[in-house]
Amino acid sequence: MPGTLRRAATALALLLSLIVLPTVPAEAADATTARERARVDRVPTPHLDWEPCDQGQCARVRLPLDYDEPAGATVEVALARVPARKPSERIGSLFLNPGGPGASATDFLQRAQAWLGPDVLDRFDLVGMDPRGTNDSTNTRCFADPGDLDRVTGTLAGMVFPLTRAEEATFIDAASTLSAACSGYGRELSSAVSTAEVARDMDVVRRAVGDDKLSYLGFSYGTYLGQVYANMFPDRVRAIAIDGVINPLQWVGTPGTAQFPMSLRMESAEASSAALAGLLRRCADAGSACPLAHPRADFADVAARLRAEPLVLEDPDAGTYELTYQQFISTVLYLLYTEDGVEAVPVLVATVAQLQGDSLTSSRRRSLSAAYHRTAALAVGQERAYANDLEVVPSVMCSDSRNPARPSTWSRLARLADARAPYFGRSWLWGSVSCADRIWNADDEDAWSGPFDRWTSAPVLVVGNVHDPATNYAGARAVSRLLPNSRLLSSNNWGHTAYGVSGCATAHVDAYLVEGTLPAPGTVCTDGRQPFAG
């Protein structure tokens, strides 16, 4: 976190920006459509029985599986709450979503308290809602036999992404098995977990916690959920801040872009590639502070050798195992998600380069293998956070988005993906192959496909950092133009998302959530920690 001087500078910068802040033009919000009002408002306001739990207070609520049939089947949605520290100054509830799709918002509350601003903790009840289909809510289950899920997981997660034609065939076969299972045995829930359904759930829960309008802070995929809510219920917005922003037109697609997979449209791979290239340039400029003599060439050499032949590593618990090119690229990607991880990438590359050397003694190989494990452990997202993520992620993505008909399209576009985004093109591309129209049939007829440009009852704060390796900064800029009542806040920090990393961005978001105060147009936070800055 920023030190005392950085906090003081941030506070001064925020004060100065507020002095010159122009008012946002007053304009009546677009109205929630009669159809959406009918869907959610006829659901009786649930009574929430809050009980003590590890997250603070927990409750469960039953909501319609299909909002067109409110008296029909239901799903159970898990909630967690951390009450405001100053009840007498309480504004209401702040809904949090960490992304995913499918990451646990209830578990997120515990971690979020460490870096949410004091005013936010003082004045809001923090509320986490596990989206339907995930975590402690009713789970999406595509396979009757857990062994079948394990076999598909072993292929898709074990391979990470395919490189050769033979690997592509194996990967597509496993993805097709997953799609068939979710479109068959798991169809009832797989076809009812689109982002729109989660937004409807959130609107009912908003009412249940006693808020007239929604206050929301969402990250990564959670930015898409925030945008869907804002456009479905534009007159029910008190404050929505979205950080690490998804361009909804790329996520959903249009008739003109549906021939490209959503994972290619998103340009996440380009963001990853740009972040790596920028890091390697800084490493080269750092001279002896960089562990690589020729960062760009050294990375390319390590990657090429891994692509030609996996590297044997030693684990004191598991014995020897192979490090593949795909696993290496995945680890580098997730290291780029955090400031500490970013600076560890050159260390990781240098370690692998030494392991690829000739005539290593057994002792030296064990030592270098241990060093690799320590560095790789800084990568976020390496462990699966919940048991059914393989079923949840495609269920949400495929319900939300347009995609090509045949899985073979992914094979055809693989070279293009890598050409557009060296190292990371295939990694991101293959994440959506289960969504090929010919194999995915668990469609949600009530998914939201737009519009995404409705005028909200309060401005939406759009936050993007220029070095984000997952949600392209271009997405934040596009959304700030798309939403007519919004403001863009930019940050120069490294890693995925800015809140809690940049003191400046955090202060601006907190001021917006608590007071409704927007940063001045064109505000760019420049307090982000820079790699090799000394």
For the chain, give the mean pLDDT.
93
**pLDDT-based confidence at residue 381 (cuts at 50, 70, 90):** low
Alpha-carbon distance of 243 to 126, in angstroms, equals 17
Instruction: Please answer whether residues 391 and 177 qualify as being in contact, where contact means their C-beta atoms are separated by less than 8 angstroms.
Output: no
Q: Which of 63-77, 88-102, 176-190, 310-324 has the lowest mean pLDDT?
A: 310-324
Helical axes 195-208 vs 389-400, angle rounded to 10°: 100
Q: What is the pLDDT of residues 121-130, one digit of tens each?
A: 999 999 999 9
Instruction: Please answer whether residues 134 and 384 qualify as being in contact, where contact means their C-beta atoms are separated by less than 8 angstroms.
Output: no
Where in the chain are all domains bearing CATH 3.40.50.1820?
49-138+192-253+448-525
Q: How is the beta sheet containing 214-219 ordered, strand by strand?
A: 51-53, 56-64, 74-82, 124-129, 92-97, 214-219, 237-243, 460-467, 486-494, 524-525
pLDDT for residue 231 is more than 70: yes
Output the DSSP codes for 386-420.
STTHHHHHHHHHHHH----S-THHHHHHHHHHHHH
Q: Which pLDDT value is given to residue 25?
A: 47
Average pLDDT over residues 191-201: 98
Average pLDDT over residues 266-288: 98
pTM of the model: 0.93
Q: Which pLDDT value is given to residue 232?
A: 98
Six-digit token string for 94: 């702040």
Instruction: Answer left, alpha or beta for residue 55, where phi above 0 means left and psi between -120 and 50 means alpha.
Output: alpha
**pLDDT-based confidence at residue 274 (cuts at 50, 70, 90):** very high
pLDDT for residue 385 is more than 70: no
Instruction: Please answer whether residues 349 and 375 qualify as being in contact, where contact means their C-beta atoms are separated by less than 8 angstroms.
Output: no
pLDDT for residue 42 is more than 90: yes
Six-digit token string for 460: 């939406």
**pLDDT-based confidence at residue 358 (cuts at 50, 70, 90):** confident
Q: What is the CA radius of gyration of the chain?
A: 23
Q: Are strands 319-323 and 56-64 parallel, antiparallel or unpaired?
A: unpaired
Q: Which pLDDT value is given to residue 325?
A: 98
pLDDT for residue 302 is more than 50: yes
To which residue do tokens 């941030």 refer? Answer: 10
pLDDT for residue 384 is more than 70: no
pLDDT for residue 363 is more than 50: yes
Q: Between these two residues, 9 and 73, which has the higher pLDDT value?
A: 73
pLDDT for residue 389 is more than 50: yes
Alpha-carbon distance of 151 to 461, in angstroms, equals 43
Determine what percent of the chain is predicted with pLDDT higher than 90.
88
Q: Are strands 319-323 and 214-219 parallel, antiparallel or unpaired?
A: unpaired
Q: Which pLDDT value is given to residue 388?
A: 60
The CATH number for 49-138+192-253+448-525, chosen from 3.40.50.1820, 2.60.40.10, 2.160.20.10, 3.40.50.150, is: 3.40.50.1820
Largest Cα separation within the chain, whole Å, is 73
Contacts of 519 (CB under 8 A, 6+ apart): 14, 17, 21, 461, 487, 489, 508, 511, 512
**pLDDT-based confidence at residue 320 (cuts at 50, 70, 90):** confident
Helical axes 408-420 vs 165-183, angle rounded to 10°: 120
Average pLDDT over residues 105-115: 92
Average pLDDT over residues 272-294: 97
Where does 77-214 have alpha helices with state H? 105-112, 118-123, 146-159, 165-183, 187-190, 195-208
pLDDT for residue 522 is more than 90: yes
To which residue do tokens 């930019």 refer? Answer: 490
Q: Which pLDDT value is given to residue 359?
A: 84
